[in-house]
Structures are given as C-alpha cells and as structure tokens.
A = this chain, B = another copy of it.
Amino acid sequence: MNQFCSGVWCGGFGSPEVITPVGVFRAADAPDAPPLEDGAVLPFWRGDIISRETGRGFVVEIPMKNEEGFYGFGLQFHAFNHAGRRRFMKVNSDPVTDTGESHAPVPFYVSTTGYGLLVDTFRYVTFYLGTNGAKGSSKNCTEPVKEHKEFSEQSLYALKKAKNERCVLIEIPNCEGADIYFFEGPSMLDAVRRYNLFSGGGCLPPLWALGNWYRMYGGSDQRQVLKLAEQFRESKIPVDVIGLEPGWHTHSYSCTYLWNKNLYPEPEVLMEKLNKQGYHINLWEHVFVHPLSELYEKLEEHSGDYEVWGGLVPDLADKKTQDIFGGYHRERFIDKGISGFKLDECDNSDFNPSAWSFPDLSSFPSGLDGEQMHSALGLLYQKTIEGAFRDRGLRTFGGVRSSWALAAGSPFVLYSDLYDHRQFVRALINAGFSGLLWSPEVRSCENSEDFIRRLQTVVFSPQSLLNCWRIPNPPWFQTDIAKNLAGEPMPERDSIIAITRKYLELRMRLVPYLYSSFWRYRLEGLPPVRALALDYQDDERTHAIDDQFMLGDSLLIAPVFRGEKSRSIFLPSGGWYDFWTHERFDGGRALVYDAPLDIIPVFVKSGVILPLADSTQCVEEHTLFRLTLLCFGSGEKHFTLYEDDGTSLACEEGKYNTVVLTQDAEGGIAAVRNGMEAPRYDVKEWKYVDCGILL
C-alpha cells in the first residue's frame, strides 16, 4: 500500500479500471488534503487483505472483528450500523427496501475500529459485512445447539443469525481489479474528515442558500408565482429561494430547457421582479434532452446509444459535453439571473414500474457503460452545472437526485420521492458519514401536525426546503392536496402559520452559525450534520442512535414525529441546555422530553458560544447580521464566525475574514476580527446562561 497523502493509503488490487471516481472527480493537480493532527495506523496490514479475480469481477476480503460496526455507504434510508448486512451500491430512485441501494450510494464506509475505506469504482459494488463465514469456520463452534422452541418470526430470525462473522467481502463486478483507499482514524470522525478533505473539502454554499427555500406549484404561471412571492414578503414569511418546477419548460419529459411562454410570457420580468424582492431563483430540469431543445443537435454525437423519454442522454464524462451543456446554462440562465438548478431524474429506476432511465447495457463515447454512467451521472451533472457558475466566478447551491463517491465539495443537496419522516431523519444522519448533504424536504404531509414536525426537522438541515409542487397554496394554508387545490383553508391555519413563521425565522437566526459550520466542512472536512456516534464514539450507547444528530458543534437536534407528544432523548456525557428554556441537563443518560406541537427538542452543549442573528426576510448582498451571543455553561468559550462576500469564489483564494469570539471564565468577552472589508456581523449583545458569572 502506498501512502497517498497524510493519513490516506492506496492499495492497488488486480488491474484497476481506467475511469474511476478518483480520476474523474479528484483533479490530478488537487492539493494533498491538509493533514489532520493524530494519524493512526490501520487496524490491519496489506498482507491481511486477500483479493482474487472471478468470472463475475473482482473480490477483496478485509479482516473484520466480530463486534465491529460499519457506517456510511452514502444515503441510506433503512439502516444505520450496517454490520451483518449486505450493501449493494446501486443507484436506485426507489430504494424501498434495505439492500444498500439508494439515490446516492457511496462505496465508502467507516469502521468503529477506526478507519475508512473507499472502493474507487463506478461499478455496482456489493459489500458483505460479516454475513457469511468461510466453509468450515462453524465446524468446531462451541456454541451450544439451541432447540427451536418458540415459534414466531422473531425467534426464527434470532436462530438464523450467522454463527461466524469473520470478514468484509467486497465484490466489484465487471472488472479485473480496483484501487482501494484507506483513511486512518484513530476515530471514525477522523476517517470521515480525511475522506472529505481527500475529496477536496466540503462545499461552501452561497450565504443566501442557507435561508428558506420554497418550490412553487408545478402549474403556476408567471402571475401566480409573483403573487405568492409578494405574499411571503407581506406576511413576513422569510424565503430566500423560489424554485420553479417542470412546467417552465415547453416540454419537460424529456427537457427542452426553453421557457414555456404560455405560462411564463416574460421570464426576464419575472426574474427581475423576484430578484428585486431579494429572491434567488432555482429551476427544475433533468439531463435528458428533447429533440426540440437547441442542445439536441450539438449533443447528438456526445450521447449514449439509448434514449430516455425520447431524449438524448448526454455523455457528461466528456469535457466537451460538459462545455456544451454547461455553456448553454451559463448563457441562457446564469447570465440572466438564475441562481441554481434542481437536477432531477439523474438516478436510476430499477425499482420503478415505469422503468425509465437508460439501460445498464448502454455505452457512451467516453468509454463508460450504462452501469458506470448511472453511478457517475449525478455527480457529473452537478460538476457540469457548478462549472457553469464557476465560469462566472459564482457559487451556487442546488438540489440533485443522485450522487456518488467524492461528492463532499459539490454544492448540491440530495432529495428523493420517498416521504417517510423517520427515514428522512436517518438519511440526514447517514449522509454525513460519506460526504453527502440531504434535505428532509417538507413535501407530502398527512396533516398539519405532520407538516409542523417535518418543518421542525428541515430547518435544522443543510437545506431548509418546502417543496410545494403539488399545491397552489402554501401548506400552512392547507395540507390536504385536494382541498388546497380547491382553495379551502384548514381551520387551524392561524396557529399553524404562527408556528411556521417561528421556525422559518429560527432558520434565519441560525444562518451565521450554519455558515461557520459549512466553513469548517470546507476547511476541516467536518460535516455540518453528524451522527452522535461520530462526535461521541467512545460512548457505545450512541452507536445505534439514528434519530438524533449534531448540527454544527453546539446543537443536538432530536426530531419528533407525527403522533408523538414526547420522545426519549439520549444526551452524551457533559452538560446540556434546553434551547428553548435554557434549563440545564446532565448528560450521559436518556431522558423523556415533552414536546408539544410547537416544540422540537434542541439542546445546546455546555461550554459553547451560540450566535443567533435577528431574523431577516432573506439574505441580501449587504445583509448585516445583528447577533445575540449566547454563552452556555462555565469556563472559557470560543466561536469563529466567517465573513466574506457570500456569493463569489474569492473565498477560495483566502478572501475572507474570521471573527473569533471569546468569552473567558470570568465573563470577559472579545470579538477579534481579522479583516478589512465591510463587516457582515454586528454583535448586539452577549448573554450568559448558567456561566457561573455574577453580572
């Protein structure tokens, strides 16, 4: 194994393929990832790894401890610790069962023994995480034979447990080998950070993208969009981004990327009016090019050999195709005021009876086949669109339905057409293990309670998104689709709108805190949303918690689901403060928390400074955040705010300020700003919560 960079090792097994994620997504001239402080040796040697070629592909065996846990594998809805399971890394738009398939599978995991592993391939890799012992390994098993006495499914499954869990088996199909990258710990969080830094560091969204997003009803026309946008401002509902759904195209399945002038007669007027009110605009599209698109002829020779919905499948693994596709977007949309795109349908539809998307057997001019392209397409599409913004020196932030390995730096948030709130929370937490962002968007709601519970989750996520493509009126007016279409309000709408405003405003208050978290994602590889098992790995009680998460360094969020009035919460050791009441709780234990409809349990870690801004309706170019700095618990505390223009790529050249906030053990405070530009933060007041300081 070769040391690739500090704490990252590469093992070549067999004859690796030519086109792989590291080659495609990690530029050859990418700088070495900044080293982390505490490198740790891997828990095994190269010699402990067995590999072989088979008639199906290539197999690698990695040593495993019986009690070892595994996290990651991209966007996973159904499972958390994957030990004892089989994970099939296949892109799938309807991952309704726990197979590992997902919109964004990632052939990367972190192990509780303190390392991360990436298989560098676009193939549909299968991981067997201790599911099967080798022949004979149970022969001399000393475990006493258990009689089959109880007759339920549960007792049967208990009996069925594999007797020997000896190794991780990795099968990479249709190839003769692969490079495997190993990321050192010593903790899982270290391995995750090394992986993110190796990917180029986490993405940094534009500042406005951390506000609230609202996707309009698909049947809206220009007048209706403008009307609702005005209403938001009038009724003080903070929204930063307006999203338009398929109807803006003249033809949407496949796409023409041409404004439908029946619905949007004057798109320039629409954009100008919205921009003037401080809105950014995001356009829905997918990558399949309709014959009536102006792109069609240019892309025909740069496309795969099968159509999807009668449209071309552009070969985005080819730089020229990226230029054609990205250039069109740059000139037609970005230069005219569009701030981002929602990249739909770039996953795959194996579980979907409508069987869209291109076959795995497709071939593309770049040399990728359909299998590889399915894995690569989501991230290639992101890079293409991001590239068009970069050409103009701009950052973007958008939505995407698929991703793969090495995506940490890509400014897109995943979403899906599945709607289970618990699964959404699990996916949010899982995404953080492998360089992905996920939005548990508010979309299908059973009722107003469900709406509020989902809203409470989404404002604490990477993208605070309300997707209202099915309903012409906002969900706080009516959650039932038929009644919403009929314009019939919910009786409880007044109380619901008050709670909605409270949470959308809270999101705005968190923008500076979130922006700092993303800066740390970028600079240190630290994911903004993390499982408790990452921050508190030493406490094994955190290892199975898939319904609570850390947002940034200071906040622990514990979502509540429809039908619940209270929930059990595990607080890791240390002190914690109720975000709402500032009541102190000792950690290292579980507690039951009463959560009426307007409350989602949120805890602040003791020993932190939490910056909260005054809420604004949106983030504009010169928005000055007026901050209240809450200091929780005793002792010295620090927090670093990041300050830049919020929209350009200048940040990548070091053009940003830090504002280092300090509160010493005696209550002394300081805010040290290192830069020269106009400030973005104005400290309104410092507040002490349980700091042991007499004021």
B85 touches A355 (CB 8 A): yes
**A156 contacts the other chain (Cβ, under 8 Å)?**
yes
With the chains together, A260 CA to B262 CA distance in Å?
77
Of B131, B309, B351, which is within 8 A of A160 by CB? Answer: B309
Residue numbers in B under 8 Å from A310 (CB-CB): 133, 138, 141, 162-164
B262 touches A85 (CB 8 A): no
With the chains together, A294 CA to B323 CA distance in Å?
68
- Cβ contacts A642-684/B at 8 Å (1 or 0 each): 0000000000000000000000000000000000000000000
Residue of B nearest to A301 (CB): B135
Total copies of this chain within the assembly:
2
**A46 contacts the other chain (Cβ, under 8 Å)?**
no
A219 touches B171 (CB 8 A): no
With the chains together, A317 CA to B99 CA distance in Å?
28
With the chains together, A88 CA to B355 CA distance in Å?
11
Contact flag A252-B148 (CB < 8 Å), given A132-B306, A162-B356: yes
Contact flag A138-B54 (CB < 8 Å), given A356-B131, A359-B132, A359-B169: no
Residue numbers in B under 8 Å from A360 (CB-CB): 56, 126, 171
With the chains together, A94 CA to B356 CA distance in Å?
23
- Cβ contacts A113-154/B at 8 Å (1 or 0 each): 000000000000010100111111111110001111111100
With the chains together, A307 CA to B55 CA distance in Å?
20
Please give the distance in Å from A251's CB to the nearest CB on chain B: 5
A135 touches B312 (CB 8 A): yes
**A369 contacts the other chain (Cβ, under 8 Å)?**
yes
Please give the distance in Å from A510's CB to the nearest CB on chain B: 32
Report A62-98 residues with CB < 8 Å from chain B CB.
Answer: 78-79, 84-86, 88, 94, 96-98
B97 touches A56 (CB 8 A): no
B307 touches A56 (CB 8 A): no
A250 touches B307 (CB 8 A): no
Of B145, B151, B359, which is within 8 A of A250 by CB? Answer: B145
B159 touches A253 (CB 8 A): yes
B96 touches A96 (CB 8 A): yes
Contact flag A79-B132 (CB < 8 Å), given A141-B291, A251-B145, A361-B171: no
A353 touches B311 (CB 8 A): no
Of B253, B296, B307, which is within 8 A of A137 by CB? Answer: B307
B359 touches A131 (CB 8 A): yes
**A278 contacts the other chain (Cβ, under 8 Å)?**
no
**A217 contacts the other chain (Cβ, under 8 Å)?**
yes
A148 touches B306 (CB 8 A): no
With the chains together, A151 CA to B135 CA distance in Å?
56
Residue numbers in B under 8 Å from A351 (CB-CB): 97-99
A219 touches B151 (CB 8 A): yes
Of B162, B252, B292, B307, which is within 8 A of A164 by CB? Answer: B307
Contact flag A369-B246 (CB < 8 Å), given A88-B350, A162-B309: no
Please give the distance in Å from A495's CB to the nearest CB on chain B: 28
A246 touches B56 (CB 8 A): no
Please give the distance in Å from A287's CB to the nearest CB on chain B: 14
A78 touches B147 (CB 8 A): no
Please give the distance in Å from A76's CB to the nearest CB on chain B: 12
B99 touches A350 (CB 8 A): yes
- Cβ contacts A245-289/B at 8 Å (1 or 0 each): 111011111000000101000000000000000000000000000
Of B55, B86, B159, B164, which is within 8 A of A369 by CB? Answer: B55
B369 touches A150 (CB 8 A): no
B363 touches A54 (CB 8 A): yes
21 A-B Cβ contacts within 8 A? A78-B353, A86-B355, A88-B350, A94-B97, A97-B351, A128-B355, A131-B355, A132-B306, A132-B307, A135-B305, A136-B300, A137-B307, A139-B296, A141-B310, A148-B249, A148-B260, A149-B247, A151-B247, A159-B253, A160-B253, A162-B309
| A-B contacts besides A132-B308, A148-B252, A149-B247, 16 pairs, CB < 8 Å | A56-B173, A56-B174, A59-B361, A99-B350, A99-B351, A128-B355, A131-B355, A136-B307, A140-B291, A141-B291, A145-B251, A146-B251, A148-B247, A160-B354, A161-B309, A169-B359
Please give me the 10 A-B residue pairs with the lowest Cβ-Cβ distance, nearest first.
A163-B310, A138-B310, A151-B218, A86-B355, A132-B306, A171-B361, A98-B353, A159-B253, A133-B307, A151-B219
Q: Hey, which bits of chain A sit against chain B, CB under 8 A?
A: 54-57, 59, 78-79, 84-86, 88, 94, 96-99, 126, 128, 131-141, 145-152, 156-157, 159-164, 169, 171, 173-174, 217-219, 245-247, 249-253, 260, 262, 291-292, 296, 300, 303-312, 349-351, 353-356, 358-361, 363, 369, 371, 469-470
